[in-house]
Structure 1
Amino acid sequence: MTPGAEIAAGLICSGTRSYRRINLAFFGAGFVTFITLYDVQPLLPLFAAEYGVAPALASLPLSVATAALAVTMLFAGTLSESFGRKPVMALALIASSCLALFTAVSQGLLALLALRLLQGAVLAGLPAVAMAYLSEELEPGSVAPAMGLYISGNAIGGMSGRIFTAALAEATSWRLALAAVGMLCLLLSLWFVASLPPGRQAVRRPFRGRYLVTSLLAHLRDPGLLGLFGIAFLGMGSFVTLYNYLTFRLLAPPYTLSQTTVSLIFLAYLAGSLSSSLAGRLSGRWGLASVLRGGLLLLVAGILLTLLHPLFLVIAGVVCCTVGFFAVHSVASSWVGRRARSARAQASSLYLFSYYLGSSVCGTLGGYFWSGAGWGGVVGMVGLLLAMALALAGWLGRFDAVHSPLSVAQATQTGCSR
């Protein structure tokens, strides 16, 4: 049976060949998204030294990309409803990979920032549309595990990119490291285009600015979605701030580790990859809100552990934070797809707008806490963000398994591709 025949009967269920193709394609897409976006994170101390700027300014190559991604995310979902989900995602991956190659030959900080701004803007076409594609093409019971695997690709891409660029930058130069990342991502992007089945459930409509505005406003009137958008901002802001300035801390006394050794801290992303898939399965047993709160509590425990001085305890704290964050993101992102009754691409866009805005704003703001109060200041800032996130998660409990637009039983009645 061809993938197209499997899809034609209705929504795609786990265990089918189309489901496996979609999972593998989005695992690769998630890998490309995070490796191209965050490959500069371990290079921030190098940027500070080469361009003679403070840590907060050295974080801008990352922050401008995530800020551009956040804003463009609001339009990418609507464009995909006019031009198709797969074409928009394919263009995003290929264009961002090419821009990654151009960053390797940029001259000066301003040129690097301009290219990273463009890279973040074009990359928005993948994450915003991916959530909508999965929510539309898969039966509801299969969405959370698929989203978990996609986020696992995010985790492994983020880990690989950071370790690879740090090691290669120390051995050669950061420019060669970014060029190698760009070439790898271009090859993976072409593989994504060849592997992903075209979407069959989304209804194309002409692009209308008024529809974009009304659909976004409709989601902003949903209190449950607003809470999830807040979780995205606070969770991602906490996580990026931790990793941005942990590098500066471990390079400095009393640790004085090498660039390559510091980058090994990103191996914690392996644990995050596993936790995102596990969280998707556990949410069906314990409920979305319970798993969400559990992930946030792990983040709190982890950030407090990093206050201790022994290196092994700092590493343990980072692992806890990584496991907790990816569980939170996996649950919250799949919850958005389940809760949105219509215009799911716009709901995904708003979630990811909040997610990457948190990365951009908090990631740079943390630099001032680091410069002014050291690691204790960073932990204090992250702790405040997580306290607000926990309050939101407690309030979101009232929406768990309530107002779901389509139950699994109902989905079975609509027809599910086998």
Structure 2
Amino acid sequence: MSTGPGARRFDERRLLVALFGAGTAAFAQLYSPQSVLPDAARELATSASATSLLVSAATLGLAVGVVPWAWVADRVGRVRAMTVAMLGATAVGLAVPFAPSFELLVAGRAVEGLFVAGVPAVAMAYLTEMLIDAGATAMVPRAAGTYVAGTSMGGLLGRLVSGGVAELFGWRAGVGAVAAACLIATAVFVWLAPRDRGPRPGATGHPDTSGAAPGRAGRLRALLSPRLLVLDAQGLLLMGGFVAIYNYLGFRLTDAPVGLSSGVVSLVFLAYLAGTWSSARTGRLVVRHGRRRVLIVSAGVMALGVVATLSAWLPLVLAGLVVLTAGFFGAHAVASGWTPVAAPQARTQAAAVYNLAYYAGSSLFGWLGGVAFALAGWPGTVAMVLALVVVAAGLAAAVLRDQRA
């Protein structure tokens, strides 16, 4: 499959720009309804926790889809798998706003998430393998940070575009506009992505005779190692808390006494720029201080930001949002980039399992945050998120060590 000039030879810059485009295309669509949830709740006459299913259904679909997409990528090639996934997600994303009922909206979002899963399921393993094969292993932390920066930029653009368009044409038009815009980011990836190895040895049913591929038991042992399980827990817990904050902060800010409009609330997601900055910066910090320390400090920064959102003073709430976003994306960049490096004999599977945990956390705790919000208001949501962050940081401190993998 041709992927444009980038397919002719490996180019590290093309790889980084292509993956930035892939992250943008995938995550703009995934989170585009988040800034318009209050508008959707009013039109659909649904509760905050029920309406959040427009986000949670997509992330659940993504969680279910990451492992199958990893399997597909091993058989058809990673670039081809990611291309099909992004085109499929965009096609479904264009159709979802026309769904006539809440149930069909949720179902459509779940299917959209299944397609989006093809990007995170493969991207980290793809970039790690390409850089290691090119003798640029030292670039892996920075490249992982660049990809995560693309995911944060996609999340930001999806929320801003949907919120801005919703002010003029309604929330359905806002969500559809994001899917249309993602065609451009998809084209960037298709044009620039360097060609990967293609199908993995033994993936098509023919045995690998090189002696290099580990057996199924070896891969399973790697995936169940304490280090991999704790890295997966980082995704599960930190992502769950992060999505809960962003899902329900909009309800707090549109309700009295703040009373902001949905268009203004969508500007709150400019805090994602802090995540773009921190994830790109994380690679340098890892080289200087080690993955474990940067991960734990990033979780602590996230916790400080979460506490600040309890304030009744809007500027402090917004500052807290910036801080927690920077902390979360820093931690995510470390954990997601560490995972394929820590399991060299099962990179694709390790990245897929991490993403399974990551988006399962988003779906589960993204919904449970609404239950806490209904029971105890914003302090209830904050308490749940703080508990998740503390557990994640404690596990990292107890189990993870900086080792060359």
- By the TM > 0.5 criterion, same fold? yes
- From 37, 48, 60, give the equivalent of 2:53: 60
The residue aligned with 1:230 is 233
Check conservation: 1:136, 1:201, Cα contact below 8 A. no
The residue aligned with 1:133 is 126
- From 146, 169, 173, give the equivalent of 1:172: 169
- From 40, 49, 52, give the equivalent of 2:42: 49
Check conservation: 1:33, 1:93, Cα contact below 8 A. yes
Change (3 A) 1:41 1:73: same
Check conservation: 1:234, 1:386, Cα contact below 8 A. yes
Query: Are 2:22 and 1:29 aligned?
Result: yes
- Farther off after superposition, 324-333 or 194-203: 194-203
Q: Which residue type is aligned with residue 106 of structure 1?
A: A
Check conservation: 2:241, 2:389, Cα contact below 8 A. yes
Change (3 A) 1:102 1:6: closer
The residue aligned with 2:96 is 103
SS of 2:27's equivalent in the other structure is helix
SS of 1:203's equivalent in the other structure is coil
Q: Distance in 1 between matches of 2:176 and 2:247?
A: 22
Q: Which residue type is aligned with residue 163 of structure 1?
A: L
SS of 1:40's equivalent in the other structure is helix
Check conservation: 2:92, 2:112, Cα contact below 8 A. yes
Change (3 A) 1:218 1:313: same
Q: Distance in 2 between matches of 1:370 and 1:148?
A: 32
Query: Are 2:322 and 1:319 aligned?
Result: yes
The residue aligned with 2:192 is 195
What is the CA distance between 1:159 and its match in structure 2?
Answer: 0.9
Change (3 A) 1:52 1:133: same
* 1:270-307 residue CA offsets vs partner (Å, 9 max, x unmatched): 11101001111110100001100111011110011111
What is the CA distance between 1:393 and its match in structure 2?
Answer: 1.6
* 1:48-84 residue CA offsets vs partner (Å, 9 max, x unmatched): 2112111111111111111111111112112111111
The residue aligned with 2:69 is 76
Q: Which residue type is aligned with residue 32 of structure 1?
A: A
**Structure 1 segments of 4+ aligned residues over 6 angstroms from their partners:** none
What is the CA distance between 1:123 and its match in structure 2?
Answer: 1.3
The residue aligned with 1:415 is none
SS of 2:297's equivalent in the other structure is helix
Q: Distance in 1 between matches of 2:315 and 2:204?
A: 53
The residue aligned with 2:113 is 120
Check conservation: 1:98, 1:186, Cα contact below 8 A. no
* 1:5-24 residue CA offsets vs partner (Å, 9 max, x unmatched): 754xxxxxxxxxx1010111
What is the CA distance between 1:261 and its match in structure 2?
Answer: 1.1
Question: Structure 2 matches for 1:348-387, cutoff 5 A?
Answer: 348-387=351-390
Q: Distance in 2 between matches of 1:109 and 1:350?
A: 30
- Farther off after superposition, 108-117 or 318-327: 108-117
Change (3 A) 1:361 1:216: farther
Question: Structure 2 matches for 1:252-291, cutoff 5 A?
Answer: 252-291=255-294
Check conservation: 2:56, 2:363, Cα contact below 8 A. yes
Check conservation: 1:289, 1:396, Cα contact below 8 A. no
Check conservation: 2:236, 2:357, Cα contact below 8 A. yes
Normalised TM-score (structure 1): 0.90
Identity %: 39
SS of 2:344's equivalent in the other structure is coil
Normalised TM-score (structure 2): 0.92
What is the CA distance between 1:202 and its match in structure 2?
Answer: 6.8
Q: Distance in 1 between matches of 2:50 and 2:337?
A: 34
Q: Distance in 2 between matches of 1:384 and 1:158?
A: 25
Q: Which residue type is aligned with residue 56 of structure 1?
A: S
Change (3 A) 1:253 1:212: farther
Q: Distance in 1 between matches of 2:54 and 2:216?
A: 30
Which segments of 5 or more consecutive residues in structure 1 lack a partner in the other structure?
8-17, 406-418
- From 325, 346, 349, give the equivalent of 1:346: 349
Query: Are 2:186 and 1:183 aligned?
Result: no
Q: Distance in 2 between matches of 1:349 and 1:212?
A: 18
Q: Which residue type is aligned with residue 133 of structure 1?
A: Y
What is the CA distance between 1:113 and its match in structure 2?
Answer: 1.0
Q: Which residue type is aligned with residue 298 of structure 2?
A: G
Q: Distance in 2 between matches of 1:323 and 1:191?
A: 26
